[in-house]
Amino acid sequence: MKRVAILGGGPAGAFAAEQLASAGLATVVFDEKLAWEKPCGGGLTYKAYHQYPFLIDNSTPKKLISETVLAAPHSQPATLRLREPIVIYSRLDLNSLLLDRAQRAGAQLEKTRVLEVNRSGGGWRLLTKAGALDADYCIVATGARNPLRDVGTQLTRADTMAALGYYVPGQRDHIDIQFLPQLEGYIWVFPRCGHLSVGICGKGEPAISLRKRLERYMEEKGLSAKGAAFYSHLLPSLETPAWKKNRVAGDGWMAVGDAAGLVDPITGEGLYYAIRSADLAAKALLSEISGLAGQAYRRMLRRDFAADLEFGSRLAKRVFLGKFLFAAVPARMVQFTHRSPRFAAVMQDLFAGTQSYLDLKKRLLQNLNGSLYEIAMSLGLSRLIPGRARP
Ligand SMILES: Cc1cc2nc3c(=O)[nH]c(=O)nc-3n(C[C@H](O)[C@H](O)[C@H](O)COP(=O)(O)OP(=O)(O)OC[C@H]3O[C@@H](n4cnc5c(N)ncnc54)[C@H](O)[C@@H]3O)c2cc1C
């Protein structure tokens, strides 16, 4: 293989470029903006920096946050101490870090927009704003708004959610997560260096009404939207059938990150999956002959995390819109976090990214008796518990 073209230089494209260039492949990254402040919370879980330690061991400005306050209607907020901090970057800084690493590994960076990709012979002819270029293989990393129709996930409206917010001047040492009535999504306040990223994501609701919900929340919490920079973007959030027929690879190409729809359908976490999928795509391309790389990549994705995210897509509606013990599930989650150390431990692992969705039900059921016991004790209802009756 003479040359690999990477279309898009966000986290997915930049990391794929670093891996391929370090293995000695001629690698060219095309991004119309290169490093930029992509609309994002910028939060990285323990799972991400544990697997890729350079994401925390570097001199790039970042915030390490070890406390989250969870809130939902009709319940007292719960403070959750995180065993492992969430690392929060501005996206300009994170993208620069990743692109610098790609360049140092030998990748060539081109600041231009890719207009078209056409199969020609056994390879590709790329048309960019700066001219044409031939490549043997394409890695598609153009994000959720992938303009290249023939490659990458075919996102329908049902497979996306709107995500928007404001960068507000201010400082905090904890994350806020607010659940809202009848919303398959949530509000977040992420402290970054020098400002807060305050945002909302929600499925099946127009951006304009999400923005109203967010502004109402900000007003209540004394966070001024006036003069704050507004951001909005699309977040892939695949429905279960879309996971099954997800177009992640084809003849001479593989898609990574948002362009492959690889985002957690419950939390909206996409940074880890962008980097991880880029890693797997590079491994597939380096270990297989190019004709078989796509199949190998699809298998690796499924084994590594896609099956878990697909299962998460089944749970999403129940998590945000379901009922448990006659109350909304988010309210119950907040109450349980507040009152049961066992349940709080599950939440800690969910925030760390170390609790899979496939095992979640089993763990919750195993813990249920213990959690209910802890809740009853914290409410001073010990006399209701058999064997603990007091005179
Ligand atoms: C509001 C919001 C908040 C979020 N918060 C978090 C969070 O806190 N934590 C988390 O893990 N995830 C979060 N996400 C998800 C995360 O932002 C994405 O999953 C992540 O950016 C995906 O990386 P990527 O490289 O696949 O795509 P992107 O970061 O979107 O990068 C795609 C790149 O391709 C370039 N490009 C596109 N088309 C072309 C073209 N034709 N020619 C040249 N270049 C092109 C773009 O300029 C861009 O740089 C959030 C998303 C949103 C919208």
Instruction: Please name the residues in contact with 365: beta carbons below 8 A apart, sequence gap of 6 or more.
Output: none
Q: If you measure from the C-alpha of residue 71 to the centroid of ligand 1, how many angstroms do you get, rounded to a whole number? A: 27
Q: Pick the atom of ligand 1 nearest to 33's CA.
A: 47
SS3 380: coil
| Ligand 1 residue neighbourhood (C-beta within 6 Å) | 8-13, 30-33, 38-43, 113-114, 141-143, 147, 163, 165, 199, 233, 235, 257-259, 263, 268-272, 274
Provide the residue type at 176 as one letter: D
Provide the residue type at 382 as one letter: S
Sheet holding 229-236, edge to edge: 43-44, 78-88, 63-71, 175-178, 184-191, 195-203, 160-169, 229-236
Q: pTM, whole model, 2 decimals?
A: 0.94
CA distances from 294 to 62, 92, 238, 285, 380 (A): 35, 31, 20, 8, 58
CA distance 6 to 22: 14
The tens-digit pLDDT sequence of the chain (391 residues) is 789 999 999 999 999 999 999 999 999 999 999 999 999 999 999 999 999 999 999 999 999 999 999 999 988 999 999 999 999 999 999 999 999 999 999 999 999 999 999 998 889 999 999 999 999 999 999 999 999 989 999 999 999 999 999 999 999 999 999 999 999 999 999 999 999 999 999 999 999 999 999 999 999 999 998 889 999 999 999 999 999 999 999 999 999 999 999 999 999 999 999 999 999 999 999 998 768 999 999 999 999 999 999 999 999 998 999 988 888 899 999 999 998 999 999 999 999 999 999 988 888 888 877 777 676 666 665 655 555 544 3
